[in-house]
Amino acid sequence: MKWVKNYKKSKECVLCKIAKKEEKAMILKDGEIFVIMNKFPYNTGHLLIFPKRHVKEIEELREEEGRELFIILQKCVKMLKKALRPKGFNIGINIGEVASASIEHLHIHVVPRFGADSGFMEIFDSTKVMPEPLGKTFKKLKRFSYLLK
């Protein structure tokens, strides 16, 4: 709530700030490709995968970055399956404001889905109920983060 009330769109990219260690984040992997937990998740275990280098458009990726992104994506799915045992995934990339890209730095959303991950609160109150605190989920995922190497 503190973040929501005091939100001011920064001129500097939040993912670049995370990559430079200027912004606090729940980092599961760093290097040329980062994996972090989304601070504002759609669901438990929601991850973001992004290149360290600031890239806005998918065609700006170097061939090696594109390969590495998808290799890390595969590893993230494996890690999430071991740590959280989801029943499925939503995986997506939003590019451009009209496509709901709120951050102009290419990133992949990995959203684990569970059998009962939505109920009456989500349907009737346009809200999301998270079954456990982010810190607890982060600890579970951190135990399996060796899979991302």
d(CA 2, CA 25): 16
Spatial strand order of the sheet with 108-113 comes to 27-29, 33-37, 47-51, 108-113, 88-92
Helical H segments across 22-144, by residue range: 63-84, 120-125, 134-142
Q: Transcribe 70-100 into DSSP letters.
A: HHHHHHHHHHHHHHH--SEEEEE---SGGGT
Residue 109 annotated as catalytic: no
By three-state DSSP, how is residue 113 classified?
strand
Catalytic residue among 46, 54, 107, 109: 107
Q: 93: which residues sit within 8 A by CB, 6+ positions away?
A: 58, 106, 107, 108, 109
Closest listed residue to residue 108, CA positions, set 44, 45, 35: 35
Catalytic residues: 107
